[in-house]
Amino acid sequence: MNPGERAAVVVIGAGPAGVGVAVGLARRGVGRVVVAERRQSVGGVPALYRKESGDVPTFLLWTRGRVLFGEQLAERLAGKLPAAGVEVWLESQVIEIFPREKRISLVSPMRGKLDLLAEAVVLASGARERTPAERAYITGSRPGRVLFTKNLLELAAKSTLPSAESPVILGSDLIAYALSAKLKAAAAAEAAIVDRSRGPQCSLPARIYFRRWAKPSYYHAHEVRVAGRRSVSAIGLPDGRQLRCDRLLISGELTPSSELALMAGLRVELRSRRPVVNSSYQLSEPGWFAAGNILGGNHGAEWCYRNGLRVAACVARYLRSVRAAR
């Protein structure tokens, strides 16, 4: 095993929030900042939204009044790190955490197994979509042709996105409406969107924007039943209606990726899965912080980046107080 290394701050996750934290800390000259990312590239979820001719840009830079493809946004984020002097360790998976020591163990193809000690650690691991079991209102069989957002984006990136004559999307937030637009741009039929809420959770301005590509119908249903043997064939609604379906997309309903916080024994609200933080974004163990969508909610990339900058200011204050007390 490689010997341990030391850093001023370790940031776990290189999505928009993680980049914001790292850049904010580097600008403040706190010392060595290392970003550990399990994927092969910087950018988090936005990096999965590739730029394709005729496709739909879905990421709003509201401070600049521009809409970008996720891949373009990820490239902008990645470009900020070398300029700030931040070290980025890609393909680095955290396997163990020692909260009081502020020590993490990780493995990577380049470094093998390595211990990394820091004065502070920031969890910026984002959020994931809830599984059908976690959503509870999805019943019935479990046939094929049921995809999550990430599955669909991976197929699109490989140019193997299958056509769909009657797609149904479960969920009605921004992600769901972005998916409906992407499907229509890929020559699929108009999607039906089904959710438990009385009306779409996606904001009206966003729905108006996506109407340039798609005009999905909306169905309110407190429970849905999936039908089909080998592949999904229909979605049953509580009133007895059956929506024909040859491709089911389970979208949105994000839950914080707080597994690392739980691993470390840090306080987590078990129902919401949000790490417990104070007004300075500090977790239950001194020197541990959280940033971005791990805090809960379904925030856009620019919000996460700017939240990362705010968290960086809190981390820098913590480091100043700790160093002054030595």
Domains 5-128+254-324 and 131-250 share a fold: yes
pTM of the model: 0.90
Q: Give the phi and the psi of residue 108 in degrees, each rounded to 5.
A: -155, 155
Q: Domain coordinates of the chain in residue numbers?
A: 5-128+254-324, 131-250
The Cα 78–Cα 88 span in angstroms is 9
pLDDT, tens digit, 9 for 90 and up, residues 160-217: 666 788 999 999 999 999 999 988 888 788 999 999 999 999 999 999 999 999 999 9
DSSP code per residue over 183-223: HHHTTPPPPEEEESSSS-SS-HHHHHHHTTT---EEEE-S-
* CATH level 3 topology of 5-128+254-324: FAD/NAD(P)-binding domain (3.50.50)
pLDDT, tens digit, 9 for 90 and up, residues 250-261: 998 899 999 999
Angle between helices 174-185 and 149-157 (to 10 degrees): 30
Band of the pLDDT at 1, cuts 50, 70, 90? Answer: very low
The Cα 123–Cα 136 span in angstroms is 28
* CATH level 3 topology of 131-250: FAD/NAD(P)-binding domain (3.50.50)
Band of the pLDDT at 298, cuts 50, 70, 90? Answer: confident
DSSP code per residue over 259-280: HHHHHTT--EETTTTEEP--TT
The mean predicted confidence, pLDDT, of the chain is: 91
pLDDT given for residue 113 in this prediction: 93
Residue 270, C-beta contacts closer than 8 angstroms, at least 6 positions apart? none
